Chains A and B, each alone.
Chain A
Amino acid sequence: MPALPRRVARFAVAGILAAAVPAWSASLPMGEADARHLLSRTGFGPTAADVRTFASLSRDEGVDRVLAATRTRVTAVTPPPAWTAETGPLRPAAAAAPEERRDFARRQALRVAELRAWWVQEMLATPSPLTERLTLFWHNHFVSSQQKVRVARLMYAQNALYRSEALGNFATLLHAAAKDPAMVVYLDSAQNRKGAPNENFAREVMELFTLGQGHYGEQDVKEAARAFTGWSLDRDTGTFLFRPRLHDDGDKTVLGRTGRFDGDAVLDVLLARPETAELVVGKLWQELVSPVPDAREVARIARAFRAANYEIIVPVRELLRSAAFWAPAQRGALVKSPVDLVVGALRQLDQSPADTRPYALAVAGMGQNLFAPPNVRGWPGGDAWINSNTLLARKQFVDRLARSDAVVMELAKAPAAQRVLLPIAPQLPSPPDADAALAIRTTLLDPAYQLK
């Protein structure tokens, strides 16, 4: 055990040297510390075997391998519940008996719980963890919540959309997310009619999905809301429906451009603004690199993003190959999300639960109830994941998982098991007489285990 800090220190030195000489290091084997870093940022809880596999690749080869897996993965490998294929009316008719409406609401609550367990299962099983990471990223960008939508099959369809475009095209994704039936319900688009605008979607699409605060005015919101009038749902099929008679087809002026815009035209106006690419790249930076984006680097990568017509793989690749990503200072600089912690710990402790419902609940208890973000801005993430309530829930989860001696001993067999578990040196001293299993448990309860 006393050898650990020395090893970590050696890794850190190796990291500094590598960062200082990127030109040729890019083709050298990255080694275990870099492999661990790449895998923990692009996947969930790397195992010792994962780390060994990637350690012999160069950084560029490692990034390419991670990205290659996303190319073919546009659907889940885990079969979704059968009811996700249902069609027909979204809700019981207004005239339905109260018992029928109650049964419907109860069924939807059970279904969304199934959906959460299904997604956790997919995160454990997927051959492309980055696909699931970015599916979750888009869930937290183009937010909708079951708490308002209240129809589980719409939440599933939205999830499938975000997976299919996870590393696809942002412009395609924006247009599709805007018309996604769950989104139409969530941001009241169906209530937005000619002469009776509802500004909810128009405001959030500018503030949260594209431009960001400060890059549009109240008048832009009002005008854009008129352009989105007529967007609605077919309640008999649960599909998007444009109702021309509810659409305001007059001139609108949005961000200085005037025309008889419809909703898609306004989205294109938003996509033409540099702030949109910068907002998305800034958020991707915080997801993959560090809590505080480097403005100059974000601007550079955002330009490449626009030049590539919003192909999402472009900024993701740029970020993963950036000097900032590999900088020693960024090791362990991000707080694990509840999904990171729970799915990662299950993977690292080699657990393949037949029933993932308890783990979906554990994730919810730590503040990340899938399919139900707290509001349209999504989970704030970062330091906000950790308060006394959630930190104790996290520690209790890991403590319970590691309670089985068999599980911990299996992990302890791997050489340098602790180095795989922590991104930085442990913060708690190892108990003086620690055997291998106790050392592993101490490591799992270490504050550094909350970081990636």
Chain B
Amino acid sequence: MIQVSRRRLLCALAAAPLARVAGPAAAAGPAAAAVGASPYRKLLVVVELKGGNDGLNTLVPYTDPAYYALRPKLGIARDAVVQLSDRAGLHPSLTPLHALWSARELAALQGVGYPQPNLSHFRSIEIWDTASDSDAYVRDGWLARTFAARPVPQDFAADGVVVGSNDLGPLAGSRAGTRAIALSDPQQFVRRAALAQPAAAAGNAALAHILKVESDIVQARSHLAGSHTFDTAFTTDAFGAAVKTACELAANPAGVAAIRLSLGSFDTHVGQAGTQARLLADLARGLVTLKAALTELGRWDDTLVLTYSEFGRRPKENQSAGTDHGTSSVLFAIGGRVAGGFYGAPPDLADLRGDGNPRHALDFRAVYATVLDRWWGIDSRDALGGRYEPVPFLRA
């Protein structure tokens, strides 16, 4: 009987390729910035509202008769909205965000979209994730491209972490030197990561991808051990759990440049009211918890949170008490250095396009340009494939 212990196997595996562990670090070479100076000490948290969130019922134009005419069933009554101005108010489920608004830490970016909008979920989120023109097909995500051009320091746990979702969105990228990690629970990740082994990249594209992921795991693992205990109480819904993971990552001294959370599905073709109310309530509670925990860590002033969605929904409700795919929508920017207020312009419901959807007021790439140029202070032109004027929603 031959005895084979699992430990022996792991030891044997671990011993063999040690020399290669240094590979990725060496490859980055002089491009890797000194740690203290890196712009990526400032954290970006992007929150994808999957399925196409209805912007019109997120930030409600409660004085516009056209809104109530288009939304006989789904319109949110004037006395139910959380009034932010004499024209616009939040969905009642977003009541917890009012504290952020009062603290001038919430920017409502209105009418964000792009020319020649695509109404397919998949194509439109691809356009958002890759920051491409409507008719251009780009492989890598806008954050992955940014990190490839301006590398995140090697002592970071990873460039970006995708929490609780298997698609990498804006962090999807194939280039050497970028490191995106997907996980749901950091502790479980560290336990399992012992099974990953770096090996020399060789062979076909599928193999190269697997070897790169193994190498990213090995590097992230060495940084993510240990956990942080918060005084802040996290909510127990799925989004609350993802927020907790984001906060644990933010607490880790090794750092990550970007975290992507997601929530959904907002694809409310039928019976929209209940679904959107539940999801927006999860969102608002999660964002308020995020602020509390990051404030506890002293990191709220170094954090920018940005929501996004592949599109808004059609202003005219359908006959199923739902809404069909639309175009531009409202985004939120939240953080200790956000200059709260309204940006862009609300949809002009008296001037809809032929398909019944609003024209966009603000290109989503101008929002990304703000993140790159103003938040991280790195030139946005290459990553975005053009010059977009940043939106002044950040304080100096």
Contact = CB atoms under 8 A, between A and B. Distances in A.
A220 to B, nearest CB: 12
A424 B207 CA distance: 10
A56 B168 CA distance: 44
A329 to B, nearest CB: 7
Contacts of B6: 399, 403, 441
Interface in B167-222: 167-168, 180-184, 189, 192-193, 195-197, 199-200, 202-207, 209-211, 213-214, 216-217, 220
Interface string B218-234: 00100000000000000
Max chain B C-beta neighbours (<10 A), residue from A390, A391, A442, A445: A391
A332 B203 contact: yes
B269 A191 contact: yes
Interface residues of B, number: 59
Contact of B205 (A188, A191, A383): A383
B3 A405 contact: yes
Nearest to B208: A383
Nearest to A450: B210
A409 B122 CA distance: 47
Contacts of A393: 192
B13 A332 contact: no
A392 B189 contact: yes
Interface string B145-185: 00000000000000000100011100000000000111110
B16 A203 contact: no
A367 interface: yes
Contacts of B1: 405
A435 interface: yes
A388 B318 contact: no
Nearest to A448: B207
A191 B119 contact: no
A386 B213 contact: yes
Contact of A335 (B3, B15, B210, B318): B210
A367 B181 CA distance: 15
B16 A392 contact: no
B213 A437 contact: no
Interface string A377-393: 10010111011111111
Interface stretch (A73-81, A134-142, A425-433): A425-433
Interface of A: 188, 191, 193, 195-200, 203, 207, 213, 218, 291, 329, 332-335, 367, 374-377, 380, 382-384, 386-393, 395-396, 399, 403, 405, 408-409, 424, 427-429, 431-438, 441-442, 445, 447-448, 450-451
Interface of B: 1-4, 6, 8-9, 12-13, 15-17, 51, 119-123, 162, 166-168, 180-184, 189, 192-193, 195-197, 199-200, 202-207, 209-211, 213-214, 216-217, 220, 265, 269-270, 318-320, 322, 324-325, 355
26 contacts: A191-B270, A193-B319, A198-B269, A198-B320, A329-B204, A335-B209, A377-B122, A384-B166, A387-B181, A388-B189, A388-B193, A389-B181, A392-B193, A395-B196, A399-B195, A403-B6, A409-B2, A427-B199, A427-B203, A433-B12, A435-B2, A442-B9, A445-B13, A447-B210, A447-B211, A451-B206
